[in-house]
Amino acid sequence: MTDTIVLITDFGTKDPYAAVMKGVLLSKNRNLNIVDGTHDISPQDIGEASRFLDSIIKWYPPATVFLCVVDPGVGSNRKILVLKSNNCLIAAPDNGVLSDIIRNSVPEELYWVCLDSRPSNSTFDGRDFFAPLGAELAQKGTNLACLKNISLDQIIVKDFYLKPEFSENIISGQVVNIDIFGNLITNISKSDALNNFSTILNIKAFIDEYEIGNVFHTYSSLPEGSLTAIWNSSGFLEIACVNGSARKKLGDLSENKIYLKFFE
């Protein structure tokens, strides 16, 4: 089926957990191409993992297997799921981590993994279940006896953030992620603006009543140190500081409402 497995975890790289998962995968198939999607999801942050997974899956070739192990309920009786989406397979705990994928694309197939037995005190399902399962999915796809069909209404799907609110001349949203550069990434998309305004040429971004200014397409549209609003590479409104950190520059303002206003 595939030789590529992408790992998404909150394990970090200092501790042995991610390396152990890779060892188990390679012991099953030495020819696997194991990609470190990230091991830096904030600990137990299901919403962050959900956004990350949704943002990267469409850039991978068909049949790629994703193992998303951000699992505060490890060792409990929560289900383990396998979702086919974007022609790829994702194995993940049933805790809402698949929510953004399910919301933003049409699920092609959905299964739960029927486990015959498990240790009563398992604390490392990444090693004991996800890695062996990932190797099998890579080799056989969904042609596994342990996979049983399940419907969307039988799994956990969460709204981690409020959706943008729309009025005649305003879209209001919120910061949903702050990246390593200090850019404030919002839940307002370019398509939201295109659908709500007659043109996107006459819009400005605000944090409450603090005006950021016009929305640009590149970071270099303004001088160094300037705050700027841009449409980022994923099509969402982002507040940035040219060659700096918007988070540091704005401080507490970064927690406030973000607005797009249309001016006639």
Interval 10-19: pLDDT, tens: 999 999 999 9
- Percent residues over pLDDT 90 in the chain: 73
Among 133, 154, 175, where does a domain finish? 154
Mean pLDDT within 126-154: 94
The mean of the pLDDT values for the chain is: 91
Check which CATH number belongs to the domain holding 136 and give it. 3.40.50.10790
pLDDT band at 218 (very low <50, low <70, confident <90, very high): confident
Is 112's pLDDT higher than 80?
Answer: yes
Q: What is the pLDDT of residue 76?
A: 84
Among 106, 123, 154, where does a domain finish? 154
pLDDT band at 58 (very low <50, low <70, confident <90, very high): very high
Mean pLDDT within 186-190: 92
Do 89 and 144 belong to one domain?
yes
Is 121's pLDDT higher than 70?
Answer: no
pLDDT band at 255 (very low <50, low <70, confident <90, very high): confident
Is 193's pLDDT higher than 70?
Answer: yes
The residue assigned the tokens 């540091």 is 248
Listed ranges 66-70, 71-75, 173-177, 194-198; the one with the highest mean pLDDT: 66-70
Is 118's pLDDT higher than 70?
Answer: no
Q: What is the pLDDT of residue 217?
A: 86
Q: Is 222 among the domain residues?
A: yes
Do 148 and 172 belong to one domain?
no
How many independent structural domains does the chain possess?
A: 2
Is 204's pLDDT higher than 70?
Answer: yes
Do 143 and 244 belong to one domain?
no
